[in-house]
Structure 1
Amino acid sequence: MSSLLELRNYGSESDNEEVSNDDFVQHLKPIKSGEIIGNELKLVVAPEVTSTKELDERRHIDPLQKEIKYNPKYEELFAPVQGPQKPQSKYHEVQRNILSGHVEEAHFSAFDFEAQRRTFTTYGYAVDPSISGNPDDGRRYVGNTSAAEETSGITVFETKTKQELPSKRKKDSNYDASDIDGFKGPWAKYSNEQSIMKPTEDEQRELDEILAKRQKRGKQTDDKPIEEKTLLHINDAYDYQGRSFLHIPQDVGINLKSPDPPEKCFMPKKLIHTWKGHNKGVSAIRWFPLSGHLMLSCSMDTKVKLWEVYNSRRCVRTYMGHKQAVRDACFNNTGSQFLSAGYDRFIKLWDTETGDCVSRFTSRKIPYCIKFNPDEEKQNLFVAGTSDKKIVCWDIRSGEIAQEYDRHLGAVNTITFIDENRRFVSTSDDKSLRVWEWDIPVDFKYIADPSMHSMPAVTLSPNKKWLACQSMDNKIVIFSALDRFKMNRKKTFTGHMVAGYACTLDFSPDMSYLVSGDADGKAYVWDWKTTKLYQKWKAHDDVCIGILWHPHETSKIATAGWDGLIKYWD
């Protein structure tokens, strides 16, 4: 009361003036803000407030309303917007203990979890965490359940007499560092610990079959190779001197034994022969080494065929031994044997003359490309690029893997020997090019650029200086095959469409032209020096997958297509 009186008399001229009760009540009457009574400005303790009844009676206008059918007052127009009614949903009925709702209490507290972990480490058992329940109802245990039953599942934190405690698990330890073979140190296993063993090959095969049945894929494909057969199509396999069809003919008007290429090459103008015999698309064609008087073709109809290039141009022999399409083939240096790689995961070595299958090789992965080592002293070795990112080197004599080059990050597409066969270049689906020293399983050169695409076909130039690579962005890019393996940015051949197909390419023997097939079945010829596109023509009804310039002819080209035909152009 005294404070109010002091406030009332603040600034009064008469300090000793007494205030009566009536005056005090008069001062407590509600007055408007800033109202002057007498000569003094009065302080408003409780200003006027709009009653809730007035708020309810006031008409509220929706701010989104476009049309009003009465004249509202200023207060109505600028009144605060009413909020929505409290929604009657079950969300509000939940007894929430966190912002987003209700969370049940955790099954294990941190201490319980640590207790069970330590108990399992020490005694070998713990409460099964996958079920809930009270200890009185009986709990299930994991691990050494017999010990848990004997001790009623006591934990390491519970004190019991020594007789009631379970025996601690013992380690089969050996800390004797001088014992080289038997030393186990801290890695020793517990005496009753069961180690998981890998299944044997037979067990793994059974497991694969069971999984395949569950996935309704049918049985696992039988990995056993089928019996190889061969079919000779000509009667005169041997001439009057006892020479087989592998003998290089000398009556064809050209010296096929000449080591020198033709001096000047010309572009082909017309189709001179078509070899028919494959039921499905041809995958690859290969000239007989050095002479080119025979041609090997492998196809998606699982067959490999040998054709005459001169005289009557007959099919000489058919080799049948793959269960699925044949991807690649490769002659050895003399042409007496060749390899075929199929999608049935087998690589087979054939005798060209007799048609016998000499041996079979498999790493249980699809071989995409195969190459004999061209070195005369290493003709017993060949390399295969596989679908599991590896390049595998096999020894024909032992039938075993001699070396593995495992650095690629995608399936290996091509292998090309360079530098007098001391090195080889590989390309892969990982869009890189790697250079390897023979027999050293670490690539010493790795070429990858963000602008590069995968290069599924690579050819070495006749002068051994350049690598022509078919790039998946519809270009042929050139790399130096000598020291630095640098891309030649000035030499890029374009105009064809090969995206998605491993269309091979080849040089003319005098290195004046570069030829390639494409996805539309066309054949293309570029000038090597100027990179100008000289000629293109429709060669096949489907993809022109293979193209080869004859090593001794000036203008003869063989093309292979997915229409099953091999065509010869001059």
Structure 2
Amino acid sequence: MTSTKGKVPTGFADEIVISETSFRTARHALISNQQPNSKKRKREEKGDLSVVSGPGSYKGPWARFEEEQPDSSSEEEVEVEYEEDEIEEQPAKPSKAGTSYGAEPDKETTVFHGAEQFDYQGRTYMHIPQDLGIDLRTDDVAKNYIPKKHIHTFSGHSKAITQMRFFPHSGHLLLSASADNTVKLFDTYHDRALLRSFNGHTKSVNDVSFNNDGSRFLSASYDRYMKLWDTEYGKCIAKFTTGKTPHVVRFNPAPHLNHEFLAGMSDKKILQYDTRAGTQVQEYDHHLGPVNTITFCDENRRFITTSDDKSLRAWEYGIPVPIKFIAEPHMFAMTRGDMHPSQKYVAYANQDNQITVYSALDRFKQNRKKAFLGHNHAGYAIDVAFSPDGQFVSSGDTGGYVCFWDWKTCKMYEKIKASEGPLIAVQWHPRETSKVVTGDLNGTIKYWD
């Protein structure tokens, strides 16, 4: 019970559970039954004209009102009784685990899963195998064909595959990033086993990128960290963060600048880092939405970026002012891209279910004669990949298909059912004639030939 005598709560209040509606109704009824206060408010004394400041100074018409003192004798004690409502089941307190973005330092770990870390000559899995029917050391590109059958399934991930990368040039290793917070390394020859797991991210890993010789790679995650790893032994070499989510990371392919990388961030910026000094050296801030893709072009002197702001911008490396800006009313957000092996064109996956092509040379103009249709990928960031000889364009599909088009005619050659869920990642083996790897939303990586 609560007493409102003199408008001051007194006495002991029993704790009861009532709904907000019941409380407001009872309070409204109490206020409406009360008589209006007939007492006129009094002002303080005006004070003495001769006193300028301090006690008794002149206040005149600016004197304050006297504070009301509760008069217990003037009002009756009103007792209000609230009916106790039934106690409703309270929702569970939300977990705050999802808001902790600071990865704990020194928590990066690695697990080697292979049979032997060193062979009889002391070499690790980084050594390019030579006991195969194909020379992985050559730079010759074989003629490519569309794969026909599923030959292997790489297992190890428990959630969606977000990105995959073959080892540079040789392709004897496969690096995969997943929403299960891990990055894994597989052997693509011999028994095609899981070789190593890289643990240390606390949220989904959304991109990975090898440097030129494959000795190191970068991982970007929704825990807002970018981490530099040693491919051979799994050590985390460096960590970079700005407090924003990185969406894409790319090493500069130029040999004298391969220690630098670019990161496209959720706060519309592209950041340039030096891995040797561990510092940020440049910032490109012109996009109006999160940055989705970064593609180096023109002998690595320039790069092209796309964003959720439905635009394309081209930049000189190291100069934070765009040299080209393309934004047309018909354009959609471009979420993934790949450079044609000729280095003359870039293909982008648009959110209007088509793949569009832009020139990678001076004008960066859209090639309107080339558009690849017939698949569905709206709402997902689904890969686009060229075959090593540039003859085919491939992409995933929300229906679980992997699609292949002819580069010259833009006609769809083949549509292979590769998964029950959306197919996110597609990559061609850089040395084989018809080997393609696919990754889906269920965490399954399949190898096709």
* TM-score, scaled relative to structure 2: 0.79
In structure 1, C-alpha distance between the alignment counterparts of 2:324 and 2:268, rounded to whole Å = 17
Q: CA deviation at 1:265?
A: 1.5
Report deviation, 1:135. Answer: 11
Q: Helix, strand or coil: the match of 1:374?
A: coil
After superposition, residues 112-127 of structure 1 pair within 5 angstroms as none
Contact preservation (8 Å) 1:148, 1:154: no
How far apart, CA to CA, are the structure 1 residues paired with 2:125 and 2:220? 24
User: What corresponds to 1:434 in structure 2?
Assistant: 313
Structure-to-structure mapping, 1:400-549, within 5 angstroms: 400-549=279-428
Question: Is the Cα contact below 8 Å between 2:399 and 2:420 reproduced in 1?
Answer: yes
Instruction: Quote the residue 1:560 is aligned against.
Output: 439
Aligned counterpart, 1:274:
153
Tell me if 1:261 matches 2:126: no
Between the aligned partners of 1:536 and 1:381, the Cα distance in structure 2 is 38
Match of 1:329 in 2: 208
Name the count of aligned residue pairs.
Answer: 373
What one-letter code is carried by the residue in structure 1 that aligns with 2:104?
Answer: P
Query: 1:234 aligned to 2:114?
Result: yes
Query: 1:248 & 1:149 partners in 2: Cα distance?
Result: 94
Helix, strand or coil at the partner of 2:239: strand
- Decide which of 261, 264, 273 is 1:394's aligned counterpart: 273
**Structure 2 contact 396–403 (Cα < 8 Å) conserved:** yes
- Partners of 1:150 and 1:288 in 2: how far apart? 88
Q: Which has the larger radius of gyration?
A: 1
What's the offset of the Cα at 1:218? 3.9
SS in 2 for 1:456: strand
- In the TM superposition, residue 340 of structure 1 has moved relative to its aligned partner by 0.6
* Corresponding position of 1:245: 125
* Structure with the larger strand share: 2
Preserved CA contact (<8 Å) 2:157 2:178: yes
Q: Distance in 2 between matches of 1:507 and 1:148?
A: 86
Shift in Å, 1:149: 9.1
Structural mapping, 1:92-491, within 5 Å: 136=43, 218=96, 221=100, 223-225=102-104, 227-262=107-142, 264-491=143-370
Residues of 2 paired with 1:498 and 1:306: CA distance?
27
Judge conservation of contact 1:295–1:307 (CA < 8 Å) in 2. Answer: yes
Contact 2:101 2:224 in 1 (8 A): no
The CA deviation string for residues 79-101 of structure 1, in whole angstroms up to 9 with x for no partner, is: xxxxxxxxxxxxxxxxxxxxxxx
Separation (CA, whole Å) in 1 of partners of 2:135 and 2:53: 90
| CA-CA distance at 1:153 after TM superposition | 7.4
Whole-angstrom CA distance in 1 between matches of 2:352 and 2:57: 72
Q: Using the alignment, how far apart are the partners of 1:147 and 1:514 within structure 2?
A: 87
- Structure 1 Cα separation of the partners of residues 313 and 195 of structure 2: 38
Specify the SS of the correspondent of 1:415: strand
> What is the identity, as a one-letter code, of the residue corresponding to 2:293?
T
Contiguous gaps of at least 5 residues in structure 1 = 1-132, 140-145, 159-214
Mark the runs of 5 or more structure 2 residues left unpaired by the alignment. Answer: 1-39, 47-51, 63-92
Higher relative contact order (CA 8 A, sep 6+): 2
Q: In the aligned structure 1, how far is the partner of 2:279 from the partner of 2:120?
A: 41
Q: Which amino acid aligns with 1:303?
A: T
- Paired residues of 2:101 and 2:223 also in contact (CA < 8 A): no
Deviations 1:520-540 (A, max 9, x none): 110000011110111101111
Q: 1:216 to 1:544 in 2, by over 3 A?
A: closer
Runs (4+) of structure 1 exceeding 3 A deviation are 133-139, 146-155, 215-220
Of residues 236-245 and 522-531 in structure 1, the stretch that sits farther from structure 2 once superposed is: 236-245
Q: Is the 8 A contact 2:229 2:238 kept in 1?
A: yes
Maintained 8 Å contact 2:103/2:223: no
What residue number does 1:174 align with? Answer: none
Call closer, same or farther: CA 1:237–1:415 in 2, change over 3 Å. Answer: same
Superposed CA deviations along residues 487-525 of structure 1, whole A, max 9, x for unmatched, are: 011110000000011111111112111111111110000
The aligned amino acid for 2:306 is T
The structure where helix makes up a greater share of residues is 1
Contact 1:225/1:322, CA 8 A, preserved across alignment:
no
Name the CA distance, whole Å, in 2 between partners of 1:153 and 1:247.
93
Change in 2 beyond 3 A, CA 1:462/1:136: same
For residues 256-290 of structure 1, what are the alpha-carbon distances to aligned partners after superposition, in whole Å with 9 as ceiling and x for unaligned? 1111211x221111001110110111110001011
Q: Separation in 1 of the partners of 2:284 and 2:55? A: 55
Seen in structure 2, the aligned counterparts of structure 1 residues 452 and 241 have a Cα distance that, compared at 3 Å, is: same
